[in-house]
Amino acid sequence: MQDRKTKIFPLLFILSFLISASNYSQNQDSLYRFNIDMSLGYGLHFTDLNFEGLTTEQGIFSFRFMWQPEHILRIGIESGYLPLYSLKTKVFDTIFGSTDVFLTLQSIPIMFVSATEVAKNFEVIAGIGGVILISEVNSFGNNVRSTMWSNAFELGTSYMIPIGEKYKMGAELKSFYLYRLENFYVSLQLTAKYDFYSY
């Protein structure tokens, strides 16, 4: 009888430990998450160009797909649409005659980024990669479009407030340096973050 009791108590102890461990693992937060950040706002391109009709402040949007292996670090890919400037001038004189000119320079970033939470709800964002520069000129009734690549890096900060179990909202301030143009681009955007998968 004593032998049976001495065998049952260890088995009950092991069984209760396994059940409690299973419950704990189900209740604790997932350590790994995938999330997406969507941002809308305005950007300002700092350029040396100085023409009447030049616009360097325009609406922008960007998005990031991020993997979050721990609470303070996220890594992923960022892209979006960053219009750098547009120029619209009437009766522009050239060696070929006079014409109205409409010129735009836009960019599509492709960046590898990391975001680190340095304080509660505050993140520092850093990225390296490049942008696809898309220039378009409309003059003399013709439209000419060309693309080129420029290396770039970005640095910024964001403040995000939880508004649900999987959602956060806030704002971010970022700066890009474009090597080919040798100038900066600064953006201020409203941002929404959604955790769409965790494991």
Over residues 95-113, the pLDDT tens digits come to 666 667 788 999 999 999 9
Smallest CA-to-CA distance from 111 within 139, 132, 142, 87 is with 132
DSSP string, 30-44: PS-EEEEEEEEEEEE
DSSP string, 78-109: EEEEEEEEEEEEEEEEETTEEEEEEEEEEEEE
How far is Cα 168 from Cα 192, in angstroms, rounded to an integer?
6
pTM of the model: 0.75
Q: Where does the chain have alpha helices with state H?
A: 2-27
Residues 122, 127, 132, 138, CA torsion sign: positive
Give me the tens of pLDDT residue by residue for the chain, a chain 199 residues long: 445 544 554 554 454 444 444 443 333 455 788 999 999 999 999 988 777 778 889 999 999 999 998 778 899 999 999 999 888 876 656 666 666 778 899 999 999 999 999 898 999 999 999 999 999 988 767 778 999 999 999 999 999 999 988 999 999 999 999 999 899 999 999 999 999 888 8
Cβ(20)–Cβ(166) below 8 Å? no
How far is Cα 25 from Cα 128, in angstroms, rounded to an integer?
37
How far apart, in Å, do the first and last CA atoms of the chain sit? 46
How far is Cα 168 from Cα 170, in angstroms, rounded to an integer?
7
